[in-house]
Amino acid sequence: MKIGELANATSTKVETIRYYESIGLLAPPARSASNYRDYGGEHLNRLSFIRRARDLGFSLEAVRELLALSDNTHQSCEAVDLIASSHLAEVKRKIQDLSALRSELGRVIESCRHGTIGDCKIIETLAPRAA
């Protein structure tokens, strides 16, 4: 299958596939006589895996480790659990940060009386002493 077909099958951009190859995440496929990339089922599986992991927010480095781990079917999956759990912790932390941000932004915007910039509470919040 050509790169465009693989891209279609996995909802990935062609450039992204080439990028994954360039950083060693996806193995280089065979080439046709005209130097086109020629992918097989294994590549499709691999890229699907990558896509799903990315959709779950894993970094490319994490994906790389998950891929490596997924090949050792007989090992314990402790390491997998560790990667996923620390990612989850990170996601939770981000949610907390953003929630705090939302509250503060909401408060600031709420207090805006839509007058002139001179007495805009939003600007005032940003530059308390500049008045």
CB of 98 to DNA, least distance (A): 15
77 is a contact residue toward a copy of itself (CB under 8 A) = yes
- Cα angle at 45 between 44 and 49, to 5 degrees? 115
Question: Where along the sequence are the contacts to DNA (CB under 7 A)?
Answer: 2-5, 7, 13-16, 18-19, 32-37, 54, 59-61
CB of 35 to a copy of itself, least distance (A): 29
- CA-to-CA distance for 70 and 38, rounded, in angstroms? 24
Q: Give the pair of three-digit tokens for residue 35.
A: 């130097």
Q: Give the pair of three-digit tokens for residue 61.
A: 């480095």
CB 17 within 8 A of CB 47: yes
Rg of the chain on CA atoms, in Å: 24
* Contacts with a copy of itself, residue ranges (CB under 8 A): 45, 48-49, 52-53, 56-57, 66, 69-70, 72-78, 80-81, 84-85, 87-88, 91-92, 94-95, 98-99, 101-102, 104-106, 108-109, 112, 114-118, 120, 122-123, 125-127, 129-130
